[in-house]
Structure 1
Amino acid sequence: MTGRFIVIDGPSGVGKTTTVALLASLVAADGWEVHRTKEPSHTTLGETARHGTDEYRGLTLACLVAADRYHHLDTEIRPAITAGKVVICDRYLATSLVLQRLDGVDGAYIWALNQHIDRPHLTIILTGDPVRSRARAAARGIHSRFHRGGPEAGYHERERYDQVAEELAEAGFPVHLHDVGEQQPEEVAAALLSPVRALLTVAGTQPPTGNAARISES
């Protein structure tokens, strides 16, 4: 049995990382083997992209992010899916379509760079109040120039993610858009469990184990 590939994306500070952790626990409790991961990855390529946004810009950064994504797919995501695991990834293509455009890169070029990536079985895009999201990001510590700019930049970023959700859907990507509103992280994860379960139980497929399964992480 091959696994499934789920992405959770959205603006900085909206709660993606917490949601990934909580959702992974819920999916594992259903008996699925789960692998948590994120982009940029924790490789040399990924750390360069994550912490080098003041040094690298435009086409250079877009190519660096794409290179990290292909390496991430080759070395981690595809092997986990082949092993039958449910991969839940924090950030993926939607982030590139938003941030690289904000960095002046043409959308067609971003799509061309990513034309050979694997399509997730489900892309979940979280949105929320930009004021709260930017405040959370600032409290956590800002390591990227894309996270600066305060609420005004946050509203612009959220608007871009709403647009990218439509763009991905039009391109044939299964997309689920969720506004977190006033929900607590546990409520967000519980709400997302329904579309995830629907994906995992297509055609009556059952989890490979009868008890809570293991969660691996990178």
Structure 2
Amino acid sequence: MTGLFVVVDGPSGVGKTTASALLVRLLTQEGWPVHPTKEPSNSVLGRTARHGTDEYRGLTLACLVAADRYHHLETEVRPALKAGKVVVCDRYLPTSLVLQRLDGVEPDFIWRLNRHADRPDLTIILTGDPTRSRVRAEERGIHSRFHRGGPDAGRRERDLYAHVATELQNAGFRVHHHDVGEHTPEQVVAALLVEVRRLLTATPAAQATTTDADLINES
């Protein structure tokens, strides 16, 4: 595959969708061919997963989300990468490792269920103040039972995303963990763009020999 697979993930309301859209816009302005996408996908499987969190729980929901992911990879992500595009995906494996874990699914099962999912070239995890994130999520509209628990649930979600950032690094993923703090979306994306440009301008050999010391964790 000749493209670049970038994932932007994090708690609901932290600003990942805004950051993803802005990252796509700036990369496009720089002349890179970009394919924006998201999970759950816009397929029937994805819509069922997105709007079915009150009906489906635990192992059932975890399997449904994984099925949508494999279909998404096969029908959209891999073809875009093969065409040399920068795929920017709003949510991916970190969401499963957090939300399915909050739903009582064992982490080992989540990893096994997703073991054939493609590894992104860069996984960006955004975290921030959970109270502010919950307010933003409520203003946007809550559609999932995972995001109705108030500040305490927000803190658990934020803390799990920070834990998952380390978990992914330990599994060999290239991770950039960024706390949004008081920064504007433009300031956040400026930092993210540095990391994406670094991969876009590196030679394939340089990317292949990157060591763990090159993984960036701004917790």
Q: By how many angstroms is 1:204 displaced?
A: 8.6
Please show how residues 5-154 of structure 1 align to structure 2 within 5 Å.
Answer: 5-154=5-154
Q: By how many angstroms is 1:70 displaced?
A: 0.1
Residue 181 of structure 2 aligns to a residue whose secondary structure is: coil
Matches of 1:142 and 1:25, distance apart in 2 = 26
Matches of 2:6 and 2:32, distance apart in 1 = 13
Matches of 1:167 and 1:27, distance apart in 2 = 29
Q: In the alignment, does 2:140 pair up with 1:169? A: no
Matches of 1:84 and 1:204, distance apart in 2 = 13
Matches of 2:186 and 2:12, distance apart in 1 = 18
Residue 116 of structure 1 aligns to a residue whose secondary structure is: coil
Structure 1 counterpart of 2:211: none
**Identity over the aligned pairs, expressed in percent?**
72
Matches of 1:183 and 1:154, distance apart in 2 = 19
Q: Which amino acid aligns with 2:141?
A: G
Q: Which amino acid aligns with 2:15?
A: G
**Structure with more relative contact order (C-alpha pairs < 8 Å, separation 6 or more):** 1
Matches of 1:141 and 1:8, distance apart in 2 = 20
Aligned-residue RMSD, C-alpha? 1.2
Could you list the per-position Cα deviations for residues 77-136 of structure 1 after superposition, in whole angstroms to 9, with x for gaps in the alignment? 000000000000000000000000000000000000000000000000000000100000
TM-score when normalising by structure 1: 0.92
Q: By how many angstroms is 1:203 displaced?
A: 2.1
Number of positions where the alignment pairs a residue of Structure 1 with one of Structure 2:
205
Could you list the per-position Cα deviations for residues 9-63 of structure 1 after superposition, in whole angstroms to 9, with x for gaps in the alignment? 0000000111001011111122110000000001100000000000000000000
Structure 2 counterpart of 1:216: none
Unaligned runs of 5+ in 1: 206-218
Q: Which amino acid aligns with 2:143?
A: H
TM-score when normalising by structure 2: 0.92
Unaligned runs of 5+ in 2: 206-219
Residue 164 of structure 1 aligns to a residue whose secondary structure is: helix
